[in-house]
A and B are shown apart, each in its own frame.
Chain A
Amino acid sequence: MTPAVAQPLPEGLPGDRLSRIQIDRSCRQTVVWYMVSAVAWLLAGSLLALLASIKMHTPGFLADADWLTFGRVRPAHLSTMIYGWGSMAGVGVLLWLQARLSRVRLPLPLLLPVTVVIWNLAVLYGTVRILQGASTGIEWLEFPVEVLAFIGFCMAVIIVASVLMFVRRQVKHTYVSQWYLFGAVLWFPFLYILGVVLSEAGDVRGVAKAAANWWFAHNVLGLWFTPIGLATAYYMIPKVIGRPVHSYHLSLLGFWTLAIFYNWAGTHHLIGGPLPAWLVTVGIVGSMMMFIPVITVAVNHHLTMAGNFHHLRTSPTLRFVVVAAMSYTVVSFQGSLTALRAVNEVSHFTHYTIAHAHLGVYAFFTMMMFGAAYYILPRLMNTEWHSARWIRVHFWATSLGMALYWLGLTWAGWRQGEMMNDPNIPFLAIVEYTKPWLHSRSLAGVLMTIGHVSFAWLVWNLVRQRGAALIGPTLLKRRKSA
């Protein structure tokens, strides 16, 4: 990959367009590397997910090798998806958005690509250790402690890059997406360091450790993935359809209420657990208060889109982003309601929760990152996507897969919870009941994986620049050799 500055810029473009191209080119190396690494982890995570899912209904499948047992494959799936796919795609999108919103070149052109290498090695090392049986056993923090040092270093560099871009910014106004991105970039290291300290410090034991664990795990979604996802939506929807956000003051209200309320919600994972009741109630109140930011975001995105839904037919970015934004509303409503004790009594410890978690991390965040990739990568590689058909395969396979996944497990999980609360039903009967739905989960996983392979194929061809050349942000020109 050639350095960004070495390329001559096309002549005859207006000044501001020129600078947008320059900004995009300054991001090329770092952001493309982050995104390509993320896609590689997405494929690895999908494979681990399929193994784990098949083992749920066919326990004997590949059970002879100890490193392929469920207890290792499942946390390896979660960790590769969270720290490999989600976080790396998130960082790529975050850096590009910040450069664009501040209208400056991406700083630290030597150090940032190095963080990609370090981050990849950290995730690889952590995943291998989990498969070897050295997981810490703490959910969402299964990687060995030393991984913290490496990802921590990368995050420190990313914070410096973010601050540099903000200080050098050429735009007076701080756009709503920047608020979210700054929140994400400062909150995540705080969470991660505190999460590791609290789970590794010998003094924190028992229920205190569980409380710290779920405070951390919930906030990785709430204060790391969610702000990056919403920042993307607040940029992509207006930008693609060419219409400013419907209500800008609502968007800022949404940010500040999210910042105030989200980090309280974690203890709703421990409803019914042996924690002090007030600690759980705090989590429930925090979850209820989340209705405010969620409704402001949902209303705002809907009203921005109103009258522009026909663009869903023609824009791949908009398709993924709008599906993701709608999923955000659904998953947040569902999450707030699930935090109520009466609902949680049934849903806790069932497949319902698994469906809910995937609606958040997949239907919301992952789909948002797909949408962002469809917008960002062609501009960085100066090349169009090579095939509209593969994009459609990607969209429909992932959307239908996710819908099947969520509907099947939500229904089965709820019934499972009701049956578990009935002392007259033997436990084995409940296990038998869930089996067909576990098969539907595997089928959904296959569909989503088909989507991921199509996406990887598209990205591979794009990076190899096998597509029409893209000159200027919106100009299409056939490459002579293509």
Chain B
Amino acid sequence: MFLVYLVIWAFTLLAGASAVWALAWAVQTGQFRDFRAGAASIFDEGEPVGRVTDAFPGEGKHP
């Protein structure tokens, strides 16, 4: 029984602590600052905003 409690509490504390740590890290490193740039971070020069990147095979208007 002691081992079961140990596993439960160890995991619970670990999971909780990691969440708090992640939140603190995110605030400190400015992850919650520039939302516009954050949302655009998946685009680049090769696939910029405005480019559609998927179509049925043989039916797309590929540039």
Residues of A within 8 A of B (CB): 13-14, 16-17, 20, 101, 171, 173-176, 182, 186-187, 190, 193-194, 197-198, 201, 203-204, 235, 238-245, 248-249, 251-252, 256, 259, 311, 314-318, 374-375, 378, 384-388, 391, 467-468, 473-476
**Contact between B35 and A311, CB atoms less than 8 A apart:** no
**Contact between B4 and A204, CB atoms less than 8 A apart:** yes
How distant is the Cα of A203 from the Cα of B1 in the complex, in angstroms? 6
Considering only residues 11-62 of chain B, those with a C-beta below 8 Å from chain A are 11, 14-15, 18-19, 22-23, 26, 31-32, 34-60, 62
How distant is the Cα of A391 from the Cα of B60 in the complex, in angstroms? 14
CB within 8 Å for A375 and B54 given contacts A249-B35, A252-B32, A314-B60? yes
Please name the residue on chain A nearest to B31 by beta carbon.
Answer: A174
Residues of B within 8 A of A (CB): 1, 3-4, 7-8, 11, 14-15, 18-19, 22-23, 26, 31-32, 34-60, 62-63
How distant is the Cα of A406 from the Cα of B8 in the complex, in angstroms? 37
How distant is the Cα of A68 from the Cα of B24 in the complex, in angstroms? 53
Chain B min CB distance to A172 (Å) = 8
Chain A min CB distance to B61 (Å) = 9
CB within 8 Å for A197 and B7 given contacts A173-B37, A173-B41? yes
Name the contact of B38 in the complex, choosing from A173, A182, A474, A476 (C-beta under 8 A): A173
**Contact between A242 and B52, CB atoms less than 8 A apart:** yes
**Contact between A467 and B57, CB atoms less than 8 A apart:** yes
CB within 8 Å for A385 and B57 given contacts A244-B49, A256-B23? yes
Pairs A-B, 10 closest by C-beta atoms: A17-B46, A244-B39, A248-B39, A248-B35, A388-B56, A315-B54, A384-B57, A203-B1, A385-B57, A173-B41
Say whether chain B's binding surface is mostly helix, strand, loop, or mixed: loop
How distant is the Cα of A240 from the Cα of B52 in the complex, in angstroms? 5
Please name the residue on chain A nearest to B7 by beta carbon.
Answer: A197
**Contact between B47 and A20, CB atoms less than 8 A apart:** yes
Q: List 24 A-B contacts (CB under 8 A).
A: A14-B46, A17-B46, A17-B47, A194-B7, A235-B42, A238-B39, A239-B47, A240-B52, A242-B47, A243-B49, A244-B42, A244-B49, A248-B36, A251-B39, A256-B23, A316-B54, A316-B56, A375-B53, A378-B57, A388-B57, A467-B57, A473-B46, A474-B51, A476-B58
Chain A min CB distance to B7 (Å) = 5
**Contact between B54 and A318, CB atoms less than 8 A apart:** yes
Chain A neighbourhood of B41, CB < 8 A? 171, 173, 175
A242-B48, A244-B39, A249-B35 given; name 6 further pairs at CB < 8 Å. Answer: A16-B44, A173-B41, A186-B15, A198-B4, A242-B49, A476-B60
Chain B neighbourhood of A467, CB < 8 A? 57
Chain B neighbourhood of A244, CB < 8 A? 36, 39-40, 42-43, 49
Name the contact of A248 in the complex, choosing from B3, B38, B50, B63 (C-beta under 8 A): B38
**Contact between B46 and A16, CB atoms less than 8 A apart:** yes
Name the contact of A314 in the complex, choosing from B4, B36, B43, B56 (C-beta under 8 A): B56
